[in-house]
Amino acid sequence: MRVLSGIQPTGRFHWGNYFGAIRQYIDLQHGNEAYYFIANLHALTTVREPALLRQYTHEAAIDLLALGLDPTKATLYVQSDVPEVSELCWLLMTVTPMGLLERCVAYKDKKAKGLAADAGLFAYPVLMAADILGYDSDVVPVGADQVQHIEVCRDLAGSFNHLFGETFVLPKAKVLDDSAKVPGTDGEKMSKSYNNTIELFEPAKAMRKKIMSIKTDSRPMEQPKDPAGDHLFDLYSLFATPQQRDEMAALYRRGGFGYGEVKKALADLADAFLAEPRSRREHWASHPDEVRAILADGASRARKKAGEVLRRAQKNAGVR
Ligand code: ADP
Ligand code: TRP
């Protein structure tokens, strides 16, 4: 199976990004042909500072490598290093109904808020479709919020195939439903836009401080509590083994403990979980040339495949 996914370098990755999306990419690199890329062209619709975008792009690569993405198993590249995809995007644009894009949430939400949207944001799902179709991808692991975009991709592939003959493989989305919504420090969905994130690679001390600041209710210590729907329990569960999770659930039901103890246990689990990624990250951060070489190698493999698909599409559409 060919697996492909992308992630935008719009800031440092947080727990939501990892448990909602990145974790599955890394799992799927085993036993599949995997393509993973850093979607810097998509990020350009929000990050307008060139130096910052460059920095986020490089750091996204380092973070993915630190989290276990193995460049000898998966092809890791930066989106803009494969111009074939942008060319393919135009071909797809010509079969994209306006109405389809008007219904897409990123654009619709911005418009509903009365904010000015640019054509890049509007056409965002078409570039995403080109990202996917350009590699004949079978499976696209994504967070729950991206499923609509995969549907758009399938629609466009279907229309193109209908008009010009069999050209594109129709991909399937793969969603991790048990972690669709990782809560933030305030209990709402963890998101950069809500300022409630815990970054994966913030220094250990700062991370612990953030964990200790997670909002909780003011239940008295001795009172038992249902763990279901408790965001601190949900965060604990992300890092816990099933046994640790059950033990914590029993403690909640029994009562007689403080949230401070849960937070401390959570911080300990997060530290243990991150020990290896942190040390791998140190290596990659101090060897930027190795990272650049990995990305260059990934881009050259990706261009080979995307070039094949682009030529097939151009031929079928009569522009080659
Ligand atoms: P943010 O909301 O912080 O800007 P992004 O939109 O850049 O995050 O998220 C990148 C991917 O990470 C998304 O496709 C989404 O699937 C996943 N993701 C982000 N936040 C969460 C969350 N709180 N829970 C689960 N998955 C998430
Ligand atoms: N839109 C995705 C996100 O915000 C990133 C992305 C761009 C992507 N192109 C893709 C994901 C292709 C999967 C496949 O998370």
What Rg do the C-alpha atoms of the chain give, in angstroms? 21
Q: Mean pLDDT over residues 49-53, rounded?
A: 98
Q: Which atom of ligand 2 is nearest to the CA of 21?
A: 15
Question: Is 110 an annotated catalytic residue?
Answer: yes
Fold of the 2-181+287-317 domain = Rossmann fold (3.40.50)
pLDDT of the residue at 178: 61
Catalytic residue, from 110, 181, 215, 225: name it: 110
> Which residue ranges does the chain devote to CATH 1.10.240.10?
192-281
Residue bearing the CA closest to ligand 1, atom 15: 143
pLDDT of the residue at 270: 98
CB of 21 shorter than 6 A to ligand 1: yes
The string of pLDDT tens digits covering residues 237-258 is 999 999 999 999 999 999 988 9
**Residue-level pLDDT at 177:** 65
pLDDT given at position 113: 87
- 128 CB near ligand 1 (under 6 Å): no
For residue 111, the model assigns a pLDDT of 87
* pLDDT for 257: 86
Asked if the model's pLDDT at residue 179 lies above 60, the reply is no
201-222 average pLDDT score = 92
Q: Distance from the CA of 213 to the center of ligand 2, in angstroms? A: 31
Position 79 pLDDT exceeds 60: yes
pLDDT band, very low/low/confident/very high, at 216 (cuts 50, 70, 90): very high
Reported confidence tier of residue 117, pLDDT bands at 50, 70, 90 = confident
Residue 74 makes CB contacts below 8 A (sequence gap 6+) with 25, 29, 34, 35, 36
DSSP assignment of 216-229 equals: -----TTS----TT
pLDDT higher than threshold 70 for residue 33:
yes
Domain with CATH 3.40.50.620 in the chain: 2-181+287-317
Question: Is the per-residue pLDDT at 261 higher than 60?
Answer: yes
Return the closest-CA partner of residue 235 out of 196, 203, 205.
196
pTM: 0.95
What confidence category does residue 114 fall into, taking pLDDT thresholds of 50, 70 and 90?
A: confident
Ligand 1 center–CA 143 separation, angstroms: 7
Q: Reply yes or no on whether the pLDDT at 75 is more than 70.
A: yes
Band (176; pLDDT cuts 50, 70, 90): confident
Please say if 172 is a catalytic residue. Answer: no
Q: What atom of ligand 1 comes closest to residue 145's alpha carbon?
A: 16
Minimum-distance ligand 1 atom for the alpha carbon of 20? 26
pLDDT over 60 (residue 142): yes
Q: How far is it, in rounded angstroms, from Cα 280 to Cα 60?
A: 14
Residue of the CA atom closest to atom 2 of ligand 1 = 191
pLDDT at position 280 over 80: yes
Q: Would you call 3 exposed, middle or buried from its count of C-beta atoms within 10 A (0-12, 13-18, 19+)?
A: buried
Q: Which two tokens stand for residue 87?
A: 């060319």
Question: Is residue 32 helix, strand or coil?
Answer: coil
Is 205 known to be catalytic?
A: no
Question: What whole-number percentage of the chain has pLDDT above 70?
Answer: 99
- Classify domain 192-281 at the CATH topology level: Tyrosyl-Transfer RNA Synthetase (1.10.240)
